[in-house]
A = this chain, B = another copy of it.
Amino acid sequence: MTLLQFITYTGTFVFALTGALKARKFQMDIFGGLVVAFATAYGGGTIRDVLIGIRPVNWVNDYVALALVVAGGIITFLLKEGVNKFSKTIFFTDALGIGLFTAAGIEVALAQGVNQPYALIMGVISATFGGLIADIFCNDVPNLFKRGELYATACAIGGAIYLLLKQTNIDKEINLIICVVLVIAIRIYSKRNRLQLPNI
């Protein structure tokens, strides 16, 4: 297993949990929960793959992906607790997830010959569009576009720094850690200080 795969799987599991809890909020059954969990976990990477033209998309034929989502669904089902109880945990694991997915998305895009500005966009899409698709599936107003703390912006800043540091001699793993820590830090800082982007 490469580092990129390990990152993706960790983020995936976290996102699957978030998606399954979201499905519970909308009173779905187990099937709906698994679909929303899958969409949250793999939606962003799927959109990235379709836009870049990677085919089939990354998760097809991947048993680990399937196992992670099913595990996330089963754990959520067994816990039988509301989202609120885990909201603090989810905030951190989600921030970890989007940090990891931003870096992973950038790497996949660069490997396919995408230039740097669009690789950054693909990183942000990888990190945030899974939640967007889950919101669309739930017919909910997409959280991604609601005014609130910095979310996609945190990914964009973390990803931009990651791309800049890639030009230097910095170790790949250290660069990844910087990116993730930066995304988490921006998320926490913006939540604490109610930092928002101005309205369009």
Contacts and interface: CB of A to CB of B under 8 A. Distances in A.
Interface of A: 20, 23-24, 26-36, 46, 50-53, 55-57, 60-61, 63, 66, 73, 76-77, 112-115, 117-118, 132, 135-142, 144-147, 152-153, 156, 196-200
Contact of A32 (B114, B137, B144): B144
A118 B29 contact: no
A52 B63 contact: no
A139 B141 contact: yes
Contacts of A113: 61
Given A51-B56, A52-B55, A140-B139, A29 B117 contact: no
The list of the 9 closest CB pairs from A to B, nearest first, reads A53-B55, A33-B200, A29-B197, A32-B145, A53-B56, A139-B141, A52-B56, A30-B197, A61-B115
Nearest to A53: B55
